[in-house]
């Protein structure tokens, strides 16, 4: 808590930027070695994996951060025990669902892939709770070092495997080996705490009491954030689904940064100040506005310039992503506004608004995407993704206003700044020939239907 906010933010943003540069280089290298269909398969596998984790989330990490007992070893042992049991249960469940999932998607190769990936839940369930303690105690440098080591290892091993075996198994085995690596090094964090299996009914009750809303919220969050991936893999060609997966990887980078800032800074800080939130709310609102101004400028520049990057870095098989990414970045902007609001409300012990907001987003996608795909209109499908994020944001506004963390005019101003930067940069850089101009970018929509 003694570190200034700028220093804390630096330990979130700078390491995150390093990780994304490494991942970006890896993605480009893998795209040259592997076909889009392989990314389409892994898009589904990763979505299923994330879904299993989110649909069983009972707020173990959040409970460690916000509980008065969060530093007590017995509480951490109980939290770790629940985490291990959850991982073992998910592994058993995924093993049982492997054949039905492969049959539904009519992809025989999926059966062996899912069976291979299933133990990943048990491996990650064994991860040390020291990661949550570092988040609780604002040890952001420790967490940053851990994350960078993880990314460097994961990217190196995946590229090496792709060079040896240029097929989807390079991605599968890279995921498994890097998860095992992350679990092992998590035990070298902090003071060398080694968790053990333990059970305390009062601690379990405390975790599950807070976790019931986390469970509901994350279930809806998964439905809201993953429905497009799973649906597109089922109804589009694996090639187009793979290109969409590449586009989502890029657009999700900013969303992941917002999630990280929310989890590592906003949520713990609001928890620490929750007893004085009425007096500090105006200060938190001003801080939120300043942080999001920077995000708006970066996102606007990304909207203006990301198409050119795709055209330069990827071959023609992936060029449809050059049209997709700017559109997805617009939807991501509203997702970022929602993420900051959700983190602040979570810190106040109010996870319910986030759950209902995720439900609204899912509802829009559930109705809109099948209608768009039935018409064969990928443009309309992308517009639905924007509408879904707007719906989530609108559902969070009343609770944010009630807690005095944000006002509608703040977000309207910030969105106006984003539009000004995006349009201005696109026009200036486009007509200077540095990036495709607006008309050239718009013409690339035809690549969605090739």
Share of the chain above pLDDT 90, in %: 28
Does the structure show a pLDDT above 90 at 37? no
Does the structure show a pLDDT above 80 at 282? no
| Whole-number pLDDT of residue 210 | 65
Average pLDDT, the chain: 82
Give the span between the Cα atoms of 70 and 412, in whole angstroms.
Answer: 38
CA torsion, ordered 258, 261, 266, 272, to nearest 10 deg: 160
Give the span between the Cα atoms of 382 and 244, in whole angstroms.
Answer: 10
Number of Cβ atoms within 10 Å of the Cβ of 249: 19
Task: Summarize pLDDT for 180-216 with one digit per residue, the tens.
Answer: 999 999 888 766 678 888 888 888 887 777 666 667 6
| Whole-number pLDDT of residue 269 | 66
| Whole-number pLDDT of residue 107 | 78
| Whole-number pLDDT of residue 227 | 72
Q: Where are the alpha helices (DSSP H) in 119-200?
A: 120-125, 130-136, 140-164, 168-186
- Choice among 105-114, 129-138, 145-154, 241-250 with the minimum mean pLDDT: 129-138
Q: Identify whether the C-beta of residue 345 lies closer than 8 Å to the C-beta of residue 406.
A: no
| Whole-number pLDDT of residue 49 | 81
| Whole-number pLDDT of residue 112 | 92
| Whole-number pLDDT of residue 273 | 62
| Whole-number pLDDT of residue 425 | 95
Does the structure show a pLDDT above 70 at 249? yes
Higher pLDDT, 300 or 15: 300
Burial 417-441 (b: 16+ CB within 10 A, else e): bbeebbeebbeebbeeeebbbeeeb
Distances (CA, A) of 64 to 9, 83, 196, 341: 21, 12, 16, 21
Statement: the pTM of the whole predicted model exceeds 0.75: no
- Domain-by-domain residue ranges, the chain? 1-211, 236-450
User: How does DSSP assign 193-205, residue by residue?
Assistant: --------HHHHH
Does the structure show a pLDDT above 90 at 230? no
Q: Where are the alpha helices (DSSP H) in 314-407?
A: 320-347, 352-374, 378-402
- Choice among 16-20, 73-77, 196-200 with the minimum mean pLDDT: 16-20
Q: Identify whether the C-beta of residue 110 lies closer than 8 Å to the C-beta of residue 166.
A: no
Give the span between the Cα atoms of 249 and 23, in whole angstroms.
Answer: 10
Confidence bin at 34 (pLDDT 50/70/90): confident
Higher pLDDT, 403 or 320: 320
Does the structure show a pLDDT above 90 at 300? yes
Give the span between the Cα atoms of 405 and 428, in whole angstroms.
Answer: 36
Give the span between the Cα atoms of 84 and 400, in whole angstroms.
Answer: 35
Q: Identify whether the C-beta of residue 314 lies closer than 8 Å to the C-beta of residue 296.
A: no
Give me the mean pLDDT over the 279-292 stretch: 77
Does the structure show a pLDDT above 70 at 252? yes
Does the structure show a pLDDT above 90 at 218? no
| Whole-number pLDDT of residue 1 | 40
Cα four-point dihedral sign 342, 345, 351, 356: negative
Give me the mean pLDDT over the 42-59 stretch: 73
Number of Cβ atoms within 10 Å of the Cβ of 273: 17
3-state SS, residue 21: helix
Task: Summarize pLDDT for 350-365 with one digit per residue, the tens.
Answer: 777 887 888 889 889 8
Q: Identify whether the C-beta of residue 304 lies closer than 8 Å to the C-beta of residue 426.
A: yes
| Whole-number pLDDT of residue 352 | 75
Higher pLDDT, 277 or 338: 338
Does the structure show a pLDDT above 80 at 12? no
């Amino acid at each position: 808590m003694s570190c200034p906010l700028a220093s804390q933010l630096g330990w979130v943003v700078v390491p995150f930027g390093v990780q994304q540069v490494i991942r970006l280089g890896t993605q480009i290298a893998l795209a040259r070695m592997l076909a889009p269909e392989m990314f389409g398969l892994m898009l589904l596998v990763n979505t299923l994996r994330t879904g299993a984790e989110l649909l069983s989330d009972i707020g173990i990490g959040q409970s460690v951060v916000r509980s008065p007992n969060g530093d007590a070893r017995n509480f951490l042992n109980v939290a770790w025990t629940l985490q291990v049991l959850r991982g073992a249960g998910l592994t058993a469940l995924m093993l049982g669902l492997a054949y039905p999932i492969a049959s539904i998607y009519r992809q025989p190769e999926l059966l062996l892939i899912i069976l291979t990936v299933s133990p990943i839940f048990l491996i990650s369930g064994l991860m040390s709770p020291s990661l949550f303690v570092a988040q609780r105690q604002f040890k952001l440098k420790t967490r940053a070092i851990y994350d960078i080591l993880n990314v460097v290892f994961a990217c190196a091993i995946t590229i090496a495997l792709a060079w040896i075996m240029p097929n989807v198994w390079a991605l599968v085995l890279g995921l498994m080996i890097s998860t095992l690596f992350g679990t092992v090094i998590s035990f070298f964090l902090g003071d060398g705490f080694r968790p053990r299996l333990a059970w305390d009914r009062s601690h379990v009750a405390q975790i599950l009491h807070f976790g019931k809303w986390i469970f509901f919220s994350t279930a809806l969050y998964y439905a809201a954030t993953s429905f497009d991936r799973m649906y597109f893999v089922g109804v589009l060609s694996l090639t187009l689904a793979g290109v969409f997966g590449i586009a989502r990887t890029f657009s999700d980078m900013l969303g992941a940064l917002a999630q990280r800032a929310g989890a590592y800074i906003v949520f713990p800080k609001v928890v620490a100040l929750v007893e004085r939130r009425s007096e500090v709310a105006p200060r938190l609102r001003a801080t939120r506005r300043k942080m999001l101004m920077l995000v708006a400028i970066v996102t606007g520049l990304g909207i203006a310039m990301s198409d050119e990057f795709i055209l330069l870095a990827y071959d023609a098989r992936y060029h449809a992503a050059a049209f997709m990414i700017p559109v997805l970045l617009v939807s991501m902007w509203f997702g970022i506004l929602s993420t900051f609001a959700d983190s602040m409300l979570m810190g106040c012990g109010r996870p319910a608004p986030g759950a209902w907001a995720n439900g609204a987003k899912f509802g829009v996608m559930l109705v809109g995407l099948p209608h768009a795909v039935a018409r064969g209109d990928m443009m309309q499908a992308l517009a639905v993704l924007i509408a879904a994020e707007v719906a989530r944001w609108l559902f969070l506004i009343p609770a944010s206003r009630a807690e005095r963390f944000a006002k509608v005019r703040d977000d309207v101003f910030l969105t106006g700044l984003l539009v000004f930067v995006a349009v201005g940069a696109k026009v200036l850089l486009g007509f200077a020939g540095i990036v495709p101009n607006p008309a050239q970018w718009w013409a690339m929509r035809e690549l969605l239907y090739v």
